[in-house]
């Protein structure tokens, strides 16, 4: 896939991935995506809200815009407050509200030296409930909502089956965190991975929202097998600490890369397996 840098400023970079898909980089490495259709555009997540995302994107699309969230964490919903309404799964509503704090979002992008005036302030907006199978028709593209509890209980993915584009959020990536208070058990996440595995043959591009993206759709199989090893007590079971939380890393890695050459990995709490 060829990539072209379209524009950048202090806060964001926009890369054209072709076929109407733009990858937007936030200041702390978090990603969101703008998909342009013939009749509408779809913004999937809004980063941490350091700088105006709405202003940055204003000349990159010309059709009406719909904003959807993959989940409620602060690095995905920060610029939601620039829009009057956004879509979010109800299971993540409380998480969204808890993660709206400007101070917390400033902490996430601390390395970029943010000031209070540069952060998008939280305000009351309309949260429209996402549900399984809800569709978003962009004219020449049609996205279907796929609920994917695991990283959070309200995690959702968005799938254009005709074009093979699958936007996964943080539902499955190289460092899938399942040790957070809002995460599900491994057993519940295993059900999600089995569900996504059924879609894997139709997926051509699997977009994760941190690091390099897109990645190979086999990322789904990687985490499905991780779940099965964890449930069977056969994972590598490496003790780690992430964001001040102690957890278990399922597969040994060198840096962020799995030593066995596969991509996806899981960090989980030993008391939340079943």
What is the 3-state secondary structure of the chain? CCCEEEEECCCCEEEEEECCEEEEECCCCEEEEEEECCCCEEEECCCCCECCHHHHHCCCCCCCEEEECCCCCHHHHCCHHHCCEEEECHHHHHHHHHCCCHHHHHHHCHHHCCCHHHECCCCCCEEEECCCCCEEECCCCEEEEEECCCCCCCCEEEEECCCCEEEEECCCCCCEEECCCCCCCHHHHHHHHHHHHHHHHHCCEEEECECCCCECCCHHHHHHHHHHHHHCCCCCCEEEEECCEEEEECCCEECCEECCCCCCCEEECCCCCC
Domains and CATH numbers, the chain: 4-225 (3.60.15.10)
Q: Is the pTM of this model over 0.95?
A: yes
Question: From first to last of its 274 residues, what are the pLDDT tens digits of the chain?
Answer: 689 999 999 999 999 999 999 999 999 999 999 999 999 999 999 999 999 999 999 999 999 999 999 999 999 999 999 999 999 999 999 999 999 999 999 999 999 999 999 999 999 999 999 999 999 999 999 999 999 999 999 999 999 999 999 999 999 999 999 999 999 999 999 999 999 999 999 999 999 999 999 999 999 999 999 999 999 999 999 999 998 899 999 999 998 899 999 999 999 999 999 9
Q: What is the pLDDT of residue 2?
A: 83
CA distance 10 to 4: 18
CA distance 6 to 51: 18
């Amino acid at each position: 896939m060829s990539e072209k840098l379209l524009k950048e400023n202090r806060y964001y970079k926009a890369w054209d991935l072709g076929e109407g898909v733009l990858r937007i980089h936030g200041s702390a490495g978090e990603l969101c995506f703008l998909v342009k259709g013939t009749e509408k555009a779809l913004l999937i997540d809004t980063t941490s809200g350091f700088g105006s995302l709405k202003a940055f994107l204003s000349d990159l699309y010309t059709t009406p815009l719909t904003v959807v969230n993959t989940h409620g964490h602060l690095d995905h919903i920060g610029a939601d407050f620039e829009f009057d309404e956004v879509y979010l799964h109800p299971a993540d509503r409380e998480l969204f509200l808890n993660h709206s704090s400007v101070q917390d979002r400033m902490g996430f992008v601390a390395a970029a030296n943010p000031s209070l005036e540069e952060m998008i302030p939280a305000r009351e907006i309309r949260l429209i409930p996402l549900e399984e199978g809800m569709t978003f028709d962009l004219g020449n593209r049609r996205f279907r909502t796929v609920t994917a509890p695991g990283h959070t209980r309200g995690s959702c993915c968005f799938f254009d089956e005709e074009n093979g584009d699958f936007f996964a959020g943080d539902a499955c990536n190289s460092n899938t965190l399942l040790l957070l208070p809002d995460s599900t058990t491994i057993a519940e996440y295993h059900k999600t991975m089995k569900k996504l595995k059924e879609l894997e043959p139709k997926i051509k591009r699997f977009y994760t929202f941190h690091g390099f993206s897109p990645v190979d759709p086999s990322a789904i199989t990687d985490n499905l097998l991780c779940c099965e090893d964890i449930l069977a007590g056969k994972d590598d079971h490496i003790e780690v600490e992430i964001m001040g939380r102690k957890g278990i890393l399922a597969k040994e890695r060198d840096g962020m890369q799995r030593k066995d050459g596969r991509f996806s990995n899981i960090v989980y709490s030993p008391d939340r397996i079943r």
